[in-house]
Amino acid sequence: MIMPTINKQATFKAFEIANNLSEISTLLMARRIKGRGTLDAQQKKDMEELEDHLDELVARLQAHGIDMIAAGAQDAAIKADRAIDIANAKLEKINNIKRTINIAASVVHVAATLLSKDVMGVIEATKELHELTEEKDETKNDGIKAQAPGAPSHAQQS
């Protein structure tokens, strides 16, 4: 019987995606706190709203994502997970808040389409996220330095 294997794989994939979303939410919160003196009110609001959306999507994926992925969207979920993983790595390196917000919003869109069970929507949202993460960062640094992966929170990049 193949169903238990699919459900096991779907469970693993759903929790893997939820974990990536949780990491992005934490990264946004850290950037928002670190940048509280340099972010404008709208940027703070946008980042906080994205954190809330990501946290809600984490909970929904943990509760319902398994059914969605097991119901036939495995390939789309795998591609979405890869795109979210790439976005997570990219967000750790970006120094521009506007770009951070745009990529995080795109991640929210990918996760929301995953939960809607709209395979074509997942594919399109994933494509848009890939495009955003592949763009060159030609905008000016907004003064908030990304923390080096694995560095203590008080460490400064040079």
Number of Cβ atoms within 10 Å of the Cβ of 86: 17
Exposed / middle / buried, residue 77 (Cβ in 10 Å: 0-12, 13-18, 19+) = buried
User: What mean pLDDT is predicted for residues 29-48?
Assistant: 91
Q: What is the pLDDT of residues 70-79, one digit of tens each?
A: 556 677 778 8
Q: What is the pLDDT of residues 103-116, one digit of tens each?
A: 999 999 998 888 87
pTM of the model: 0.71
Q: Where are the domains of the chain?
A: 3-134
Longest CA span, the chain: 58
Give 34's Cβ-side CA count (13 Å radius). 18
